[in-house]
Chains A and B, each alone.
Chain A
Amino acid sequence: MRLGDTVRFTRPPGLEAWAAVGGKKEADGPLAVGFDLLFTDNRLGEETWEQAESTLQRHCVELVLQKAGLGAAQVDLALGGDLQSQCTATAYTFRSLDIPFAGVYGACSTMAETLGLAACLTAGGAAGRALAMTSSHFCAAERQFRTPLNYGGKRTPTAQWTATGAGACLVTAQAGPGQVQLTAAAFGRVRDLSVRDGTNMGGAMAPAAAETLCRFFADNRCRPADYDGVYTGDLGVVGSELLAQLLTAEGIDLADRHRDCGLLLYDRETQQTGAGGSGAGCAASVLTAHILPALKAGRMRRVLLVCTGALMSTTTLLQGESIPAVAHLVELTAPES
């Protein structure tokens, strides 16, 4: 059922299983206990950082299949993406996994984007069971978007820390008993308020998050207080502050409902992650290590996950272009008791 930009499922798809895999800093962070697998060496025994990210993903997919008690043959479709140019981390992962694969690029919004797409496709009958996943790797992102790892540079106070992590969810056509339900999804519109600073992603992405949330609350005639949590992907300190201001201007009070995955994944002070965590793997791992277990256990009833993505490249930034951003949303509801 379509309500404005929102797709509300009359028979909601279910989340059959999920898995979270993280790296070293994630292992030292406050959410470590929720992860299924943590690596203390971010190389994961590989030669390159790019291979390490693919290996991270492969472990994540294997774990989610294992947790669901399924083989690759029982998954009809995999939707996944990452931050590496041409989405290579995910493509290389699926060399060794025999599942039909459609690559999705939404930068850091990929987790909500693939979940939303998987829900629509399964609910519509295009797939019985779909895998939604994404990842990011600090070192692979750093060498592609910033500078070599051994280069001596001081981070600006607005800079965020790319998470080394992967998250994967198995989505089935209809939520069974005991399964977390994906009750609604909304795909965002691209917003750009002329932020050109590549070290201030939160600031660039906040307007997109505000846009998607405003439309969602209006379309569904609901408000933040109806949810146990409104989780943004990786706005960090700066973006979170701006989101609150933008929504207040629209008459929406997020109050104590807002939480940011980038601020949950690390202890910002002791782990020195600047303005907070970021990267596609940030929202993905917080969702699978923290949010979904809480829904499953009934500690939360209903949450919104809004993942924001900055859709520029290093080339467009150097050419003086500003940063377009998008925010995709999914509404997750605890299992029916």
Chain B
Amino acid sequence: MKPDKEQYARLLKQACPRSPLLRDCLWAFFVGGGICLLGEGIRTAWLAAGHTLSDAGALTSATLIVISGVLTGLGWYQKLASKAGAGTLVPITGFANAVVSPAIEFRCEGLVTGVGARMFSIAGPVLVYGLLASAVWGVIWWLIRPWLL
């Protein structure tokens, strides 16, 4: 008998190998935690160099972004990411990788139509919805602020 869509969906689910959850999570935890640890080290260094708390934060992000960009350019970030999964996706280094990798990839389609147009093709949604959410929060804060102060 030929299966219908629902029956086939069940067969498909049974046939698909599952992600090795524990291994994936351990990789994500140690690599992700390690990147944050590195970030904390960098932040401490910028603070020690006499920067304010918020400047040190921005400088830490920028430093991690440059490190990630270099590793992406060398083709090493994706090697680590193929194991680390969310451990390399969630930190700001993953955002940098998402900007730098299309820039490299689409260079051969031109500086404007390739690099320029496609650089934010993966990371764009993060900016769009992050800025949208923050703007909404700004309006809400503007409305409730008089009542709280």
A residues within 8 Å of B by Cβ? 47-48, 143, 147-158, 193-195, 200, 203, 207, 237-238, 241-242, 245-246, 249-250, 275
Min CB distance, B12 to chain A, in Å? 5
- Interface flags for B10-52 (1: CB within 8 Å of A; 0: not) read 0110011111100010000000000000000000000000000
The answer, among B11, B100, B108, for a CB contact under 8 Å with A47, is B108
User: Do residues B11 and A151 form an inter-chain contact, with CB atoms below 8 A?
Assistant: no
Q: Give how many A-B residue pairs fall within 8 Å (CB-CB).
A: 101
Residue in B8, B89, B106 with the greatest tally of chain A CB atoms within 10 Å: B8
The answer, among B15, B20, B24, for a CB contact under 8 Å with A238, is B15
State the CA gap A143–B88 with chains docked (Å): 20
Query: Is B143 engaged at the interface, CB distance under 8 Å to the other chain?
Result: no
- By beta carbon, the residue of chain A nearest B81 is A152
- Chain B contact residues: helix, strand, loop or mixed: helix
- By beta carbon, the residue of chain B nearest A150 is B101
Query: Is B55 engaged at the interface, CB distance under 8 Å to the other chain?
Result: no
- Chain A contact residues: helix, strand, loop or mixed: loop
User: Do residues A154 and B11 form an inter-chain contact, with CB atoms below 8 A?
Assistant: no
User: Do residues B101 and A241 form an inter-chain contact, with CB atoms below 8 A?
Assistant: no
B residues within 8 Å of A by Cβ? 1-5, 8-9, 11-12, 15-20, 24, 72-73, 75, 77-78, 80-86, 88-89, 94, 97-98, 100-102, 104-106, 108, 122
**Interfacial chain A residues near B98, Cβ < 8 Å:** 151
**Interfacial chain A residues near B122, Cβ < 8 Å:** 147-148, 151
**Interfacial chain A residues near B97, Cβ < 8 Å:** 150-152
State the CA gap A60–B1 with chains docked (Å): 43
Min CB distance, B139 to chain A, in Å? 31
**Interfacial chain B residues near A195, Cβ < 8 Å:** 8, 12
Residue in A193, A207, A250 with the greatest tally of chain B CB atoms within 10 Å: A193
**Interfacial chain B residues near A150, Cβ < 8 Å:** 72-73, 75, 77-78, 97, 100-101, 104-105
User: Do residues A154 and B101 form an inter-chain contact, with CB atoms below 8 A?
Assistant: no
- Please judge, given known A-B contacts A150-B77, A152-B88, whether A158 and B17 are in contact too, CB under 8 Å: yes
